[in-house]
Structure 1
Amino acid sequence: MNANNIVDATTRSPARVDEVLDRFFSLSTTRAATLAPAYEALWKTLRSNTNGGKRFRPRMVMTAYEGLGGEDLAAAAHVGASFELLHTALIVHDDVIDRDFVRRGIPNVSGSYRDIAHTAGLSIPTAEHRGMSVAVIAGDLALTGAFRLMGLAETNSATRARLLNILDDAVFASAAGELIDVDFSLYSGVPSVEEIVDMERLKTAVYSFEAPLQAGAVLAGAPESVISALGKFGREIGIAYQIVDDLLGVFGDEHATGKTTIGDIREGKRTTLIAYASTRPEWSAISHLVGKSSLTPAEAQIVRTELEACGAKDFTERLAGEHADRAVAALADGNVPQRLVDELTPIVAAVLERVR
């Protein structure tokens, strides 16, 4: 996900989160060095894959926490860092599932270790297997690190237990969403729009929006009505974000998003765009192109033209808007302090602005 627009819409600095992550990786790398040089190297690679992110999820934690009057920024930073490590774990494992060796234009964990193995003389298939094997280990380390950092947040035992439950629920939901997404990719049929939306909610919206916002609220000692409202806001705006992300994967500006507009079509990625289009008469003209591994730019343009002609693009934009409207309504219904509403509202606009 490209979170630039949303990062610009938030005012909370992730500097304290960076400090927590720096300490975590420094201590872990030093600890690993006492066991094996290769293990130390793995921790350094994992650290480099965590650095450079927009710290979007920690910003959600800090926005909710400070917006609700929280003052212990060190504790909030541990919670935010926990969600950043969770994000690292999930994308490292997701790259293994997708057999991707590059992220943001550079080798990911799998790619780095594949290249090392191939340079050492291993065949490409064997080198790729080693790369993915190491990535599984790296993702596991990031995942356990997420729980460790959450547990280190200085708060009372009841709050800590609830924070750990929120984190556990986020992992549980994301795993379900990932499994559903994998199943979608293995079968030739096209899921319904509702099935796609549910998958995206589970896989990404919960851990990226809903859980971080609720965690910040819980740490701040917010009333249940506010915690619930922020959860609904996060869920709805998270769905809207993913729907927009799917739109940008086909109709976006590659220079602005850093994402190709042919990859999703070539992959045959199941999105709300494709789900809606599959119910229209125009689908027969492009169904053989969606998922075609040798898809050309000219063929991709044919798909885009038909997606617009059948109304899929307009439908998907409206759907994103509907979920964004529900997010705004959730803030109004849950007694969320106006100070926090004023901080969250620009995020809604930023999500929708990405396709305008």
Structure 2
Amino acid sequence: MTTIAAPPAPAVLPPAHERFFAAGHDQVVDEHDAVLWDVLRGLTQGGKRFRPALLVHLHAALGGQDAHVAAAVADAVELLHTAFVIHDDVIDGDEVRRGRPNVGGTFAARGLADGATPERARRYGEAAGILAGDLALAGAVREIALCGARPDVTVRLLDLLEEVLHRSAAGELADVRVSLGGRVTLADALDVAEWKTAAYSFELPLQAAAILADAPEDVVAALGAVGRCLGVAFQLQDDLDGVFGTAEQTGKDPLCDLREGKSTALITIARSSSRWAQLAPFVGDPDLTEDGARRARELLVACGARRAVEALVHDLRGAAVAGVDRLPEPARRTLLDMITVLLGAPVPAPQAATPERGAA
């Protein structure tokens, strides 16, 4: 299970978020708008916050001199994460986040309380989610634009953000497409992980830290490569944890990923094995039971899919470490420590990682 030892969430929102929410609350037009802002604010509190931790710690390790500006950009990255999480919940039809109703769930419940049909209440919740995500996204862009960095640095940050937004949107669209039931390759699944997760969660904070610290261009480029490897490894490990972890470890229902049936690397590899005919009825079954999930896990192990993904995580971790080894100290040590926090201590490469093949 991946654990994050990031700094705890502050009791008082950082200045960038404070400014964002103060402006929002000053402009509310009615009670419902006020609730939207309250729910949005609640989503920025708590959580692992490893993205801003990556940016702030690496910026300092690279010799960055303006901690206040770095903190402002780090907060913008976390606000961007909030926007993506809200939109992702709408796309996936989820109404709960971190054990409590998310934006969509909150407003769907309000719609039901006002007498709407379940379908209309659900659409009301989706509308609220889309709008709240848009507000957070606009706020993140504004906070970077007003972070206080030199104009040329701010332009580079905005260019980086634009590139990340493009790839993240492509990743989200691809994630939905590969779940439509057509033929999906392992390359497709890895592309989704790179575009949807690695781009904004790892490449963005790492490269932004280097840009703010006026690091050489080769360092900025190297951090992009490290971020891609680390981000894909992190997503693959998260996919493994989502199936094989417990609710206590992951904070979510251990049946959720199997019930949803997303075409992750784990499932894509399993689909090419001789065990797929046995496994297929359990993947994407919205009524999957504990016994069914237990059998699905057994088959994912038996067909070699679990070990194959573990081997991919191992190799990607190694590639990230190799990239980090080319960075100057103390940035090298800082990132090695963060890799251990995010992916755990290095382990021997899994043996017999090649999954069995079959016609199914």
Q: Provide the TM-score with structure 1 as the length reference.
A: 0.92
Q: Are 1:131 and 2:125 an aligned pair?
A: yes
**1:13 Cα shift?**
8.4
Contact 1:14–1:58, Cα closer than 8 Å, also in 2: no
| Further displaced range: 52-61 or 144-153 | 52-61
Q: Which residue of 2 aligns with 1:343?
A: 334
Structure 2 CA distance, aligned partners of 1:85 and 1:122?
Answer: 31
User: Of 296, 305, 311, which aligns to 1:303?
Assistant: 296
Give the residue type in structure 1 aligned to 2:287.
Answer: S
Match of 1:246 in 2: 239
CA distance in 1, matches of 2:268, 2:30: 49
Distance in structure 1 (CA, Å) of the matches to 2:314 and 2:341: 12
> Residue 112 of structure 1 aligns with which residue?
106
Are 1:353 and 2:353 an aligned pair?
no
Partner of 2:358: none
Cα gap change, 1:265 to 1:37, in 2 (>3 Å):
closer
- The number of residues matched between the two structures is 347
Matched to 1:324, the amino acid is R
1:259 to 243, 246, 252: 252
**Aligned equivalents of 2:118, 2:152: Cα separation in 1:** 50
Between stretches 12-21 and 123-132, larger displacement belongs to 12-21
SS at match of 1:287: helix
Worse-superposed segment, 141-150 or 12-21: 12-21
Query: Where does residue 18 of structure 2 map in the other structure?
Result: 22
Cα distance, 1:88 vs structure 2: 0.8
- Give the whole-Å Cα distance in 1 for the aligned partners of 2:300 and 2:235: 18
In 2, Cα distance between the equivalents of 1:348 and 1:72?
25
> Given the superposition, is the C-alpha separation of residues 95 and 103 from structure 1 closer, same or farther in structure 2, using an over 3 Å criterion?
same
Separation of aligned partners in 2, 1:79 and 1:26: 18
Distance in 2, matches of 1:108 and 1:287, equals: 31
Q: State yes or no: 1:149 paired with 2:143.
A: yes
User: Equivalents in 1 of 2:31, 2:255: separation in Å?
Assistant: 41
Unaligned runs of 5+ in 1: none
Larger helix fraction of residues: 1
Which residue is equivalent to 1:76? 70
After TM superposition, the structure 1 stretch with the greater mean CA deviation from structure 2, 91-100 or 20-29, is 20-29
Percent identity between matched residues is 40
Q: Bigger CA drift: 216-225 or 276-285?
A: 276-285
2:270 match? 277
- Secondary structure of the structure 2 residue equivalent to 1:275: helix
Partner of 1:85: 79
Residue 137 of structure 1: how far off its partner (Å): 0.8
Aligned pair 1:332/2:325, yes or no?
A: yes
d(CA) in 2 for partners of 1:67 and 1:355?
23
**CA distance in structure 2 between the partners assigned to 1:168 and 1:60 by the alignment:** 20
Deviation digits for residues 119-138 of structure 1, max 9, x if unmatched? 12112111111111111111
CA distance in 1, matches of 2:274, 2:228: 32
Q: Secondary structure at the match of 1:185?
A: coil
User: For the residues of structure 1 that align with 2:281 and 2:313, how far apart are their CA atoms?
Assistant: 27
Q: 1:343 to 1:11 in 2, by over 3 A?
A: farther
Instruction: Measure the CA separation in 1 of the matches of 2:170 and 2:48.
Output: 25
Match of residue 282, structure 2, among 269, 276, 289: 289
| Contact residue 56 and residue 70 of structure 2 kept, 8 A | yes
What is the distance in 1 between the residues matched to 2:12 and 2:34?
A: 25
Measured after TM superposition, the shift of residue 12 of structure 1 is 9.8
Q: Is the 8 A contact 2:54 2:338 kept in 1?
A: no
**144-153 or 295-304, which moves further after superposition?**
295-304
Kindly indicate whether residue 166 of structure 2 is the aligned counterpart of residue 175 of structure 1. Answer: no
Counterpart of 2:225 (choices 232, 237, 246) is 232
| Cα distance in 1 between the residues matched to 2:154 and 2:344 | 37
Deviations, residues 269-313 of structure 1 (Å, cap 9, x unaligned): 111111111111111211122112222211111111111111111
User: Which of these residues, 47, 52, 55, is aligned with residue 41 of structure 2?
Assistant: 47
The one-letter code of the counterpart of 1:24 is F
51-60 or 226-235, which moves further after superposition? Answer: 51-60
Q: 2:63, 2:174 → 1: CA distance?
A: 38
Aligned-pair distance for 1:52? 1.5
TM-score (norm. length: structure 2): 0.91
Structure 2 residue aligned with 1:102 = 96
